[in-house]
Amino acid sequence: MYKAKIEDAKSKMEKTLVALKKEFSTLRAGRANPQILDKIVVDYYGTPTALSGVANISSPEPRMLVIAPWETKMIGPIEKEIQKSDLGINPSNDGRVIRLVIPELNEERRKELCKQVKKAAEESKVAVRNIRRDAMEAFKKMKKDSQITEDDQKTAETQLQKAVDDYIKNIDKVSQEKEKEIMSV
């Protein structure tokens, strides 16, 4: 009975880790990565649409992204959204495509990005701990309702804690790798 609850908690923790990795992929580290534009949403005929839904994004050079809108009239709105975003990149266009030249990161910007990484990692750890808390409460309720024995409750709590420790280690590992990537020149 409690095993399903543990699997459910592990599944939620895995989703938290996947979300963290996705968030890290949108942080730029001095190289052109089309995923840094994933958060950008443009108004397409009154509908908020992801940038990848209105344009082709490519990286012809290590430090340049080229955005080719499927409709040339979308160049203006795309440029505005890029300028409003927190990317810190100024777009330039030639009437057909938008070019984003990714500048070399200075020391201050690298440290700022590392702070964002630490903050996101801490938020993920809090989410994992909240999942643990919810599962522990469910185990106590099961015990109170006589669905499981006290031994089962202890076993479940031990297994859950092991899963929590593993996911927190993974979150630390992923965040340290991202920090190392950002700080490498």
The predicted structure's pLDDT at residue 185: 58
Report all structural domains of the chain as residue ranges with CATH numbers, in order of start.
Answer: 2-25+106-183 (1.10.132.20), 34-101 (3.30.1360.40)
For residue range 33-85, what is the model confidence (pLDDT) as tens digits? 787 788 888 988 888 888 888 889 888 887 788 999 988 888 888 888 888 87
Q: Measured in Å, how far apart are the chain's first and last C-alpha atoms?
A: 51
Looking at the whole model, is its pTM more than 0.75? no
* pLDDT value of position 62: 78
The amino acid that residue 15 corresponds to is K
What stretches of 11-155 adopt beta strand conformation (E)?
Answer: 41-44, 47-50, 55-61, 64-69, 92-93, 98-101
Q: Which pLDDT score is estimated for 162?
A: 94
> For the chain, which residues score pLDDT lower than 70?
28-31, 185
Per-residue pLDDT, 29: 62
pLDDT for the residue 102: 79
Contact 12/131 with Cβ under 8 angstroms?
yes
